[in-house]
Amino acid sequence: MSQYRTFTAQDAVEYARQFGGLDDPSSLVEAQEIGDGNLNLVFKIFDSAGVSRIVVKQALPYVRCVGESWPLTLDRARLEAQTLVEHYRHSPQHTVKIHHFDPELAVMVMEDLSSHRIWRGELIKNNYYPLAARQLGEYLAHALFYTSDFYLHPHEKKAQVAKFINPEMCEITEDLFFNDPYQIHERNSYPAELENDVAALRDDAQLKIAVASLKHRFFSHAEALLHGDIHSGSIFVAHGSLKAIDAEFGYFGPIGFDVGTAIGNLLLNFCGLPGHLGIRDAAAAREQRLTDIQELWNTFAERFLALAHEKTRDAALGAPGYASAFLKKVWHDAIGFCGTELIRRSVGLSHVADIDTIQDEAMRHECLRHAITLGKALIVIADRIDSAEDLVARVRQYS
């Protein structure tokens, strides 16, 4: 991309003035870079009164936390913008709005969500948003149903699959979820005290076969346009509102991957809560996480089935009972993918603050061990867990 240049704060201000869609663009005067992820620059653009009005996001041509030795395609910015635009079409109340996108500069201008908070931080602080889990279920149901074979004409679906092919970002997922934690690899990161637990992952033949099956489904099941990285750090919440952001891993894949990743992050919070709260508060918050998981799945399944009943365009897929049978497969996939999220966030390159910010080292190690044990169990027994209530019982069994 010959026009590409890395933005400075002033570049971001000038770009927002041009493409932010504000009535008075000259009121934008200052930018603050707030990106805390591994892949992008993110600027909040403030007006003369100090109010954040718009966000400018630019993809970097490398992994930020590693540097230029790990290059990345800038085309992921196009894929992110187009994924969010497509999801916004079907779930505008729960998807960040993209105002403008420039593929040459790998820059997008999006709505400011300063009235919201990142859900992961709120979960760690035990700030409860009673609608969040149901709203996440609604977002997933609408975004995934309307980009699936149930709704899209086969010709359109195939064209969409080609449009959203995302091999470089998918390779990152494939490595971090399904390869690295189950072998000795330089990207893995975990305390030496957990070496025996991690070595047991590498030596477990049954587990590795189950992980291989999950990876194969990730490769080959182009069921819907996934967000691809829908964790609690890529979700903003406010009272009565939830918005999904950060979809650079978007591609057509198995629906259970998005659902399982979302559930997995609620379980990571479940595992880490004893390190952040007192015994009584942690116990109550853990019960709330389990309720959140049930509400997320039950809302997703109810909404998806209702949409399938009303909107399915394919005669065969509209056969009575087929959508319910399909969701059973999605559920079992989701439990397996949930387990891989628990393990990769404990053993691999990218950890979560739910556990990493626990101050007491021994407690932090115990919470990591819990996540590994729970993740391993869920992967192996995924096909024997038949409902959200059954999952909750299994989580309690391994806690």
**Averaged pLDDT score across all residues of the chain:** 96
User: Mean per-residue pLDDT for 297-307?
Assistant: 98
User: Mean per-residue pLDDT for 381-394?
Assistant: 97
C-alpha to C-alpha distance for 224 and 89, rounded to whole angstroms? 14
Lowest mean pLDDT, pick from 1-10, 237-246, 288-297, 384-393: 1-10
C-alpha to C-alpha distance for 137 and 330, rounded to whole angstroms? 14
Q: Residue 189 — very low, low, confident or very high, per pLDDT cuts 50/70/90? A: very high
Q: Residue 3 — very low, low, confident or very high, per pLDDT cuts 50/70/90? A: confident
Residue range 336-351, pLDDT digits in tens: 999 999 999 999 999 9
pLDDT > 90? residue 37:
no
Binding residues for substrate: 229, 344
pLDDT > 80? residue 187:
yes
pLDDT at 1: 44
User: Mean per-residue pLDDT for 252-264?
Assistant: 98
- Relative to beta strand 67-71, strand 62-63 is antiparallel
pLDDT at 175: 98
Tell me the Ramachandran region of residue 101: left when phi exceeds 0, alpha when psi lies from -120 to 50, beta otherwise: beta
C-alpha to C-alpha distance for 389 and 395, rounded to whole angstroms? 10
CB 45 within 8 A of CB 12: yes
User: Mean per-residue pLDDT for 165-181?
Assistant: 96
pLDDT at 39: 79
- Relative to beta strand 235-238, strand 224-226 is unpaired
Neighbours of 59 (CB within 10 A): 24
pLDDT at 393: 97
For residue 177, what is the DSSP state?
I
Say whether 393 sits in a helix, a strand or coil.
Answer: helix
CB 145 within 8 A of CB 226: no
- Helix H, strand E, coil C: the string for 281-303 is HHHHHHHHHHHHHHHHHHHHHHH
CB 122 within 8 A of CB 285: no
Q: Residue 333 — very low, low, confident or very high, per pLDDT cuts 50/70/90? A: very high
- Kindly report the length of the chain: 399
The structure tokens listed for 184 are: 């000795």
For the chain, what percent of residues have pLDDT higher than 70? 97
Residue range 197-256, pLDDT digits in tens: 999 999 999 999 999 999 999 999 999 999 999 999 999 999 999 999 999 999 999 999
CB 315 within 8 A of CB 150: no
Q: Residue 70 — very low, low, confident or very high, per pLDDT cuts 50/70/90? A: confident
pLDDT at 66: 66
CB 263 within 8 A of CB 270: no
CB 91 within 8 A of CB 143: yes
Residue range 351-378, pLDDT digits in tens: 999 999 999 999 999 999 999 999 999 9
pLDDT at 64: 67
Residue range 82-113, pLDDT digits in tens: 999 999 999 999 999 999 999 999 999 999 99
Binding residues: 40, 57, 111-113, 229, 246-248, 344
Binding residues for ATP: 40, 57, 111-113, 246-248
Locus of tokens 């309720």: 291
- What does 88-123 look like in DSSP terms, one character per residue? HHH-GGGBPPEEEEETTTTEEEEE--TTSEEHHHHH
Tell me the Ramachandran region of residue 231: left when phi exceeds 0, alpha when psi lies from -120 to 50, beta otherwise: beta
CB 30 within 8 A of CB 45: yes
User: Mean per-residue pLDDT for 129-153?
Assistant: 98
Backbone angles phi, psi at 147, to 5 degrees: -110, 15
